[in-house]
Structures are given as C-alpha cells and as structure tokens.
C-alpha cells in the first residue's frame, strides 16, 4: 500500500501538466508582442544629388526589416543584419529640404515607432571661370613648374625651374639667370631664386603654403619660408626625392617621397614614419582627422595604392593589380591624386574620374570616366576643391573639368582655347574661387589660372 506522502508526490506532475495546457491555450488568444530592434535614422553625408542615410540598431544578431520614406515617397523597403546599414537616395534635387522617416516592420506589419530626420541638400556651385595663361623662361633652357599652393587669390606660390636672360648678380654678368619659384602678389608675378646656404640653388618639385608667413618647399632637401626669409632645414632627414607636401598648421606638416618615404614635422622636430611600402608616394592631402597619400611606380611589381593615416599608423585603403584598372572587377587602377574634405576623401584613379571614399563608414562611391567629359587619353593629374559639390579635375593634358555637385563640365581646355603647343601638366590647386594648373609647353614653364 502506498503511503500518503507518495500519493502526493505522484499527483504533482498531473497538476503541472494541466497548468501548462491552460497557459498555452490562453496565449493563443493574446497578440504576439513585436521585437523592438531599437532602430535609429541619421543622414551623415549630404550632397547635391545624393543623400546618404544610416540606419543603426543596438541589436546585431537578427534581421531587421524597415521602410524608409522621403516625405510621402517610399525610398526603400528592405532588411539588414548587423549594427547598421547605409543607403543612398539618388533621386533628390539640389538645395531642397526633405524629411525622411523610418519605420520598422514586424511580420509584414508597419509598427508605430517612427524615426525621422529633416535635411537640406547642398546647392550646386558656380562653374563660371575666367582664364589666363602665363609662360616663364627663355626657350632652349630647362623650364617647367611642378607644384602650386594657393593661400588666397592674392598669394600663390609655384615652384619648378626656369631661366631668363638678364643680369646675374652672382657672377656680375649677363646670362641666363636661374629661378625656381614664382609668387603672385595680387598684382604681378615675382620671380624668386630660393637658394639658402648651405643647400644652394636647385629645382623644386613641391610647395605647400601653410599661411601668409610659413611656406614649405623642397625636392632633395627641405626649405622653409619663415618671417620673410627662406631657411635651409638642415635638421630634416635626407630621404632622396620629395614628391609632395601637405600641412594644416605650423606644427603638423607631412612630406612624401620616392620609395615610400614619409616625414612628419610637429613644429619642433622632423620624424621619419613607416609607410609599409616602397612605391613612390605621389600626392598627399589631409584634414584634422585623417591624412591620405596616393602611391605608384611605373615599374612592374610595385604597389599602386591609397594610404590612410589613422590611429597612429599608415594603412592601405586599397591596392590595384593593374595600372589601367578594370571597374568591372573592382580594380580602380593607378591612383593619381587625393583631396581630403569633411568626412570624405576624393581620389582620381586610372579607371575612375572620381572615387568618393566615406572613411568613417569605409564605403566608396565610384564615378567612371565615361560619366564625365574627360578625354580618354588623359589622366587626372590633380583633384582638388573646396567641398564635395565644388571640385576641379586637372588633367595632364591641360583640360580642367569642374564638378558642381551634379554635373561635370569642361571649364578650360588648352587644346581648344587657341593656345599653341601641347602642354604637360604636373601640378594643380583649387582654393576658394581660384584654380591653378602648372607644367610646361613649348620649352617654357606654364601657368594656367582660372578665377570665378
């Protein structure tokens, strides 16, 4: 016979089973509570014809479905995994305000929770420039310009080498006097021969004007204009051939060299940095957050790459396996030039007229050359500008294309402007309302200036 304790114990599972069945039956009559993915909406990048929208979530393991509307128009209905996703609305108009709303979708039903953001797209910039062409140096001599730096419309520095017939005070005789710099003072060009001791005279390949009183220049040595006097920086390291200079303050300047050399000046001393490459570093530009350098050699076997300086080290953003590139395979080709703007770096490559690299999110937006009026046989020697809607693409053949945020327009073309000769352009700059391209033509150093 079972005792009372045992009877009580065997009866407990029956009671639990009945309770579970009643709970399950009651739940069928209750609506399922939707999972809250905690989505948020922002517009981190605004252009004239594109609005980049970022959808973020605090939860990263499940799929989140959503609907984005621009005013009353559905822009996208989709889903994503992970912490966030970035989408581009390419059907907007310049200088127009829009309100975007985000709803998450659960089991095919739009939920009440709504995120919204109101933005105004950028306006298009003015592409109306007036152009002038200057030549320096007497034919029969080595005459060319390599680099230009604009402080403002009345303060422009250009370096290279050229010779003009005149009185040579060094030898107290008439002859071809060597110069390596011209400076626009707002009224005319001053010809300058920078030759501080102990360096002496040489051609110059790079120049960077930090402000009205501090200018850097160099080729195989660094010289500095400080308080109206050119100084030989004998404390700088010797890294062979300098290609470019960029800085945004007297205590933050970078120098790029052949064979992967990089030097940084912190306001007190020079430091050699490790680039991780032995290719030739061609063009450098930066802002308060990042610094970028393009690099390539024409010799087979060397990197064709874009470097980015962040978190205290140089990192490769992309490399190309071929010089010309192939966009169908994602190969951008040889990178020529880079301009760092707020939140985006713009790069010109052999296969793409412009590559917009949104470095905070690590995404690229590519505009192929065929989408622009660029000639097929030219390369964009320099890309520069004031903003994402105000860029100049300066080609090696003397063509200047302006991007106003919506359209690419040829604003100058040496070949069709009535000027003689076939120019070679090596450097350029675009600041505020002045575009300047430099190089050589018909045995003379060449300056092309457009003013808006």
Residue 104 lies in a domain: yes
Q: Last residue of some domain: 120, 149, 173?
A: 120
CATH value at residue 115: 2.60.40.10
- Choose the weakest-confidence range: 79-83, 132-136, 289-293, 422-426: 79-83
Is 30 within the bounds of a domain?
no
Tell me if 429 is assigned to some domain. yes
Higher pLDDT, 28 or 304: 304
The CATH code of the domain that includes 388 is 2.130.10.10
220 and 138 in a common domain? yes
* pLDDT reported for residue 12: 37
> Are residue 109 and residue 140 in the same domain, yes or no?
no
Same domain, residue pair 182 and 112:
no
Last residue of a domain, one of 87, 120, 153: 120
Asked if residue 48 belongs to a domain, the reply is yes
Ranges 3-12, 75-84, 159-168: which has the least confidence: 3-12
Report which of residues 370 and 3 the model is more confident about: 370
Residue 240 sits in the same domain as residue 342: yes
The verdict on 115 and 135 lying in the same domain is: no
Mean pLDDT of the chain: 89
pLDDT on residue 133 = 97
> Strands 130-136 and 344-349, how do they pair?
unpaired
pLDDT digits (tens, 9 = 90+) for 277-307: 999 999 999 999 999 999 999 888 788 999 9
In a domain, 18, yes or no: no
- Is a pLDDT exceeding 80 seen at residue 9? no
- Domain shared by 224 and 292, yes or no: yes
Same domain, 116 and 138: no
Give residue 302's pLDDT: 83
238 lies in which domain range?
Answer: 130-451
- Tens digits of residue pLDDT in 196-252: 999 999 999 999 999 999 999 999 999 999 989 999 999 999 898 999 999 999 999
High-pLDDT (> 90) share of the chain, %: 75
195 and 46 share a domain?
A: no
The pLDDT, as a whole number, for residue 242 is 96
pLDDT score for 376: 65
| Interval 59-83 mean pLDDT | 89
Residue 12 included in any domain? no
Number of domains in the chain: 2
Binned at pLDDT 50, 70 and 90, residue 370 comes out as confident
The CB density around residue 119, as the number of other CB atoms within 10 Å, is 18
**Beta bridge mates, 190:** 183
Give percent above pLDDT 70 in the chain. 91
Give the residue, 310 or 36, on which the prediction is more confident: 310
In a domain, 19, yes or no: no
If asked whether residues 51 and 142 sit together in one domain, one would say no
Mean pLDDT of 404-433: 94
pLDDT above 50: residue 1: no
Q: In this structure, are 86 and 222 located in the same domain?
A: no
Where among 120, 144, 163 does a domain terminate? 120
Same domain, 216 and 307: yes
- Spatial distance between the Cα atoms of 207 and 253, rounded to a whole number of angstroms: 12
- 296 and 352, same domain (yes or no): yes
pLDDT for res 369: 79
pLDDT in tens, 319-335: 998 999 999 999 999 99
Establish if 186 belongs to a structural domain. Answer: yes
Residue 30 pLDDT exceeds 80: no
């Amino acid at each position: 016979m079972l005792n009372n304790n045992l009877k009580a114990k065997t009866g407990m599972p029956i009671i639990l089973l009945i309770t579970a069945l009643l709970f399950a039956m009651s739940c069928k009559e209750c609506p399922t509570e939707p999972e809250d993915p905690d989505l948020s909406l922002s517009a981190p990048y605004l252009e004239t014809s594109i609005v980049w929208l970022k959808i973020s979530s605090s939860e990263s393991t499940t799929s989140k479905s959503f609907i984005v509307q621009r005013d009353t128009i559905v822009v996208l209905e989709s889903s994503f995994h992970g912490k966030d996703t970035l989408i581009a609305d390419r059907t907007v108009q310049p200088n127009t305000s829009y309100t975007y709303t985000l709803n998450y979708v659960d089991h095919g039903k739009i939920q009440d929770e709504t995120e919204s953001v109101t933005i105004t797209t950028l306006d298009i910039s003015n592409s109306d420039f007036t152009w002038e062409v200057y030549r320096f140096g007497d034919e029969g001599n080595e005459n060319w310009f390599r680099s230009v730096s604009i402080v403002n419309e009345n303060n422009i520095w250009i370096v290279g080498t050229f010779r003009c017939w005149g009185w040579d005070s060094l030898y107290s005789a008439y002859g071809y006097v060597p110069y390596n710099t011209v400076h626009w003072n707002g009224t005319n060009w001053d010809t300058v021969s920078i030759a501080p001791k102990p360096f002496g005279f040489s051609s110059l390949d790079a120049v960077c004007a930090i402000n009205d009183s501090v200018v850097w220049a160099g080729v195989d040595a660094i010289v500095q204009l400080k308080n109206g006097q050119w100084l030989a920086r004998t404390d700088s390291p010797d890294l062979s051939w300098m290609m470019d200079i960029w800085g945004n303050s007297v205590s933050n300047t970078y120098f790029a060299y052949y064979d992967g050399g990089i030097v940084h000046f912190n306001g007190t001393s020079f430091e050699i940095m490790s680039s991780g490459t032995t290719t030739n570093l061609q063009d450098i530009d930066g802002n308060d957050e990042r610094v970028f350098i393009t690099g390539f050699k024409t010799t087979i076997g060397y990197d064709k790459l874009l470097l980015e300086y962040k978190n205290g080290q140089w990192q490769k953003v992309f490399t190309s396996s071929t010089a010309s590139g192939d966009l169908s395979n994602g190969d951008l080709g040889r990178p020529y030039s880079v301009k760092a703007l707020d939140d985006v770096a713009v790069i010109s490559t052999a296969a793409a007229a412009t590559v917009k690299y949104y470095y905070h999110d690590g995404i690229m937006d590519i505009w192929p050359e065929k989408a622009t009026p660029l000639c097929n046989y030219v390369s964009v020697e320099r890309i520069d500008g004031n903003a994402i809607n105000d860029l100049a693409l300066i080609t090696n053949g003397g063509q200047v294309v302006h991007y106003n945020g919506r359209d690419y327009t040829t604003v100058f073309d040496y070949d069709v402007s009535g000027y003689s000769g076939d120019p070679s352009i090596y450097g350029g700059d675009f600041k505020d309302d002045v575009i300047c391209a430099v190089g050589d033509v018909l045995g003379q150093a060449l300056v092309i200036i457009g003013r808006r």
